[in-house]
Amino acid sequence: MFEACNGREALDWVKSSGPADVALVDWNMPEMSGYDFICAVRSDTSYDSMRIVMVTTDTELPQMTKALTAGADEYIMKPFTREALQEKLALLQTKI
């Protein structure tokens, strides 16, 4: 497990360590947003196996669509429960 303080740090980690199984990324991160992180990761096919869940307080449909179109595998809104996260993770298993 790895925790990054911002999108740039997360991207650097992915580039040096290889794809994580699952990444939970917040839309609003300093230095590099979660959206920009997803775009960067999805631009490199060597990270295709990495599943990404966008985490945000933004409930607007255009934002959800933008994240999913960029390559997020799932989208979850804060605050979320343990059960809601488990459901999203279970959905990721069906996409493998």
> What's this model's pTM, rounded to 2 decimal places?
0.90
The string of pLDDT tens digits covering residues 39-88 is: 999 999 999 999 999 998 887 888 889 999 999 999 999 999 999 999 99
- The pLDDT value recorded for residue 93 is 85
Query: What is the mean predicted confidence (pLDDT) over 8-32?
Result: 93
- The pLDDT value recorded for residue 25 is 95
The 3-state DSSP class for residue 5 equals: coil
Which is more confident, 80 or 95? Answer: 80
Number of separate helices (H) and strands (E) present in the chain = 4, 3
Instruction: List the domain boundaries for the chain.
Output: 7-94
Domain 7-94 in CATH 3.40.50.2300? The answer is yes
- The pLDDT value recorded for residue 96 is 58
Q: State how far the Cα of 58 lies from the Cα of 39, in Å rounded to an integer.
A: 18
